[in-house]
Structure 1
Amino acid sequence: MDTLHLLLTAITVIFIAATMFAAGLGTTLPTLRAILTAPLLLVLALTANLIAVPLLGWGVATLFSLPTAAFVATVLIASSPGGPFGAKLGMIQKGDVVAGAAMQVLLAAVGSLTFGPTVNAVLTAANVGGDVSLDVAALVRTVAVLQLIPFAVGLITRHYAPAMARSWHPAAVAVSNVSFLIVLAGMLLGNWRDIAALTGSRTLLAGFVLAVTAFATGALLATGTPQRRSTMGGVTAVRNVGPALAAVGLAFDDSPAVLGALAAFLLSGLAVSLPIAAVLGRHRAGDVGGCILRHASATRDSGS
């Protein structure tokens, strides 16, 4: 079991790094600069992820009268933005991958600083025990190594060697796709007992409701095209499980009940976001295909 756990952890690291590297290879500096210098988009994204979703988590946990362990898990996952699956969802839905990747890295970095105070504030206000104290420096280093550096390497390659970036991009996307499927299967197989135990419970339903409302909040609190809005929805719905897992170990003695609820919430977010992204991706691929056919038809007509 330890070997399988280590293998899944290694593949997860590959997935995160490959996804961010592929996103960087597909990004140009002017496009990235346009995203990071759009103050309204940044303010709305930070508001959605750092304020609205934690409050939604508190509200959903209260609405469903969750037991203490599930309540804590809800607050932990809702307070942790910047999940690495966010950029992948942008790719699947053929959305604004540049905006999604840039915002994911930013949210993960900022969230590593705000996670502890946010969780403490919500649990204290909700009168639920737990004092969360985390190694912020370690969280920031993790975000930098797994997300920021691969994205920056891909971005620099695209800027200084665009031909090389274009040739590497399909391979990086393929590695991201394959490792994503392995990680997803591993999550399902590794946590099936915890998830099965929650089947039919209020906890699993609360996870779906939180994911749906978080997706809607991220899409509504965004600017730009429908592609960018839906990408922001995916980034907001899929949370960063790393700080949440660290908090369970540090503040809640690796409680199996909290860990099981965390796994359920993480998979609920994917169960909501993946079908939405897949449907959007097929719809947008159809639109692109239709445009190409119409252009080809118009070209033939004009030639005749």
Structure 2
Amino acid sequence: MGALQVLFNAVTVIFIAVTMFAAGLATPLSALRAVLTDVPLLLLALAANLVVVPLLGWGLAALFALPVAGFVGLVMVASSPGGPFGAKLSMVQKGDVVAGTAMQVLLAAVASLTFGPTASGILTAAKVGEGISLDVAALVRTVAILQLVPFAVGLVVRHYAPSAARSWHPAAGVVSNVTFLMVLTGMLLGSWRDVVALLGSRTLLAGLVLAVAAFAAGTLLATGPSPRRTTMGGIAAVRNVGPPLAAIGIAFGDEQAVLGALAAVLISGLAAALPIAAVLGRDRGDGTA
């Protein structure tokens, strides 16, 4: 079992680092600059993803009276914006793909610094369980290294060697997708009893409601035409699994109950966000913003 845990941790590290490297390879500096200089959009997106959605997660966890593992899983997911699948949702809904991708990687980079304090602050204020304490400094350091450094390297390659970035990006994307599936499978297999126990539970329902509420919040707290606003909604609805996984490894010793709750929340969130994006894409026909 120890060897399997080491393998799971190694695949998780590869997933986080390669995903952010691929994001850097795919992000032109001009796209990042456009997002950074659109101050109203930037401020609203930061408020939605770093303040509103974490508070929604806290509120829903309290409203549904979730058990400790479910409470922790939901709060950590809500506190971790910038999920790579958010950029894919912008394609599914025929939204503003360039702005969506740039905002996704920006949020992932910012959240590498804010996730630890946000999740720790909410769990401390909520007084969930006994002895739960996130080592914020260690978590920020770990997540920042795993996310910011690979993203910066990819961004530099994209800027100074665009042909290399274009040739490397497909392979990096495949590795990211495969390792994501491996991580999700590992979470499900390693804690399948906990996941099965959650079927029909309030934790799954809370994860689904959080995704829908985050989609609405991200859409409302955005500027521009409808495709751009719903793209920001999709970005807000899909959270980044990397920081929560790092937190579980650091603070909870890879506790299976928390891993199971995290997997359940992520799956229910995707199950809610994907159909919304698909309906939007169908209504937009072949026109892409």
Q: Distance in 2 between matches of 1:251 and 1:151?
A: 25
Q: Distance in 1 between matches of 2:124 and 2:180?
A: 36
Contact 1:69 1:258 survives alignment (8 Å)? yes
TM-score normalised by the chain length of structure 1: 0.75
What residue number does 1:200 align with? Answer: 200
Q: Distance in 1 between matches of 2:261 and 2:147?
A: 26
What residue number does 1:5 align with? Answer: 5
Q: Distance in 2 between matches of 1:247 and 1:179?
A: 19
**Cα shift at 1:124:** 5.6
Q: Where in structure 1 are there 5+ consecutive unaligned residues?
A: 290-304
Contact 2:215 2:233 survives alignment (8 Å)? yes
What residue number does 1:287 align with? Answer: 286
Q: Distance in 2 between matches of 1:250 and 1:10?
A: 14
Cα distance change on mapping 1:56 and 1:166 into 2, 3 Å:
same
Contact 2:195 2:260 survives alignment (8 Å)? yes
Q: Distance in 2 between matches of 1:3 and 1:278?
A: 40
**Cα shift at 1:135:** 3.8
TM-score normalised by the chain length of structure 2: 0.78
Cα distance change on mapping 1:85 and 1:148 into 2, 3 Å:
farther
**Cα shift at 1:222:** 2.1
Contact 2:27 2:102 survives alignment (8 Å)? no
Contact 1:23 1:98 survives alignment (8 Å)? no
Q: Distance in 2 between matches of 1:157 and 1:250?
A: 31
Q: Distance in 1 between matches of 2:92 and 2:163?
A: 24
User: Is the partner of 1:168 in helix, strand or coil?
Assistant: helix
What residue number does 2:166 align with? Answer: 166
What residue number does 2:33 align with? Answer: 33
Cα distance change on mapping 1:17 and 1:266 into 2, 3 Å:
same
* Higher Rg of the two aligned structures: 1
Cα distance change on mapping 1:3 and 1:229 into 2, 3 Å:
farther
**Cα shift at 1:93:** 5.4
Q: Where in structure 2 are there 5+ consecutive unaligned residues?
A: none
Q: Distance in 2 between matches of 1:210 and 1:187?
A: 21
Cα distance change on mapping 1:21 and 1:274 into 2, 3 Å:
farther
Q: Distance in 2 between matches of 1:131 and 1:117?
A: 17
What residue number does 1:16 align with? Answer: 16
**Cα shift at 1:202:** 1.6
What residue number does 1:261 align with? Answer: 261
Residue 282 of structure 2 corresponds to residue 272 of structure 1? no
Q: Distance in 2 between matches of 1:209 and 1:152?
A: 34
Q: Distance in 1 between matches of 2:43 and 2:280?
A: 26
**Cα shift at 1:44:** 1.0
User: Is the partner of 1:73 in helix, strand or coil?
Assistant: helix
Q: Distance in 2 between matches of 1:224 and 1:188?
A: 39
Identity fraction in percent: 73
What residue number does 1:181 align with? Answer: 181
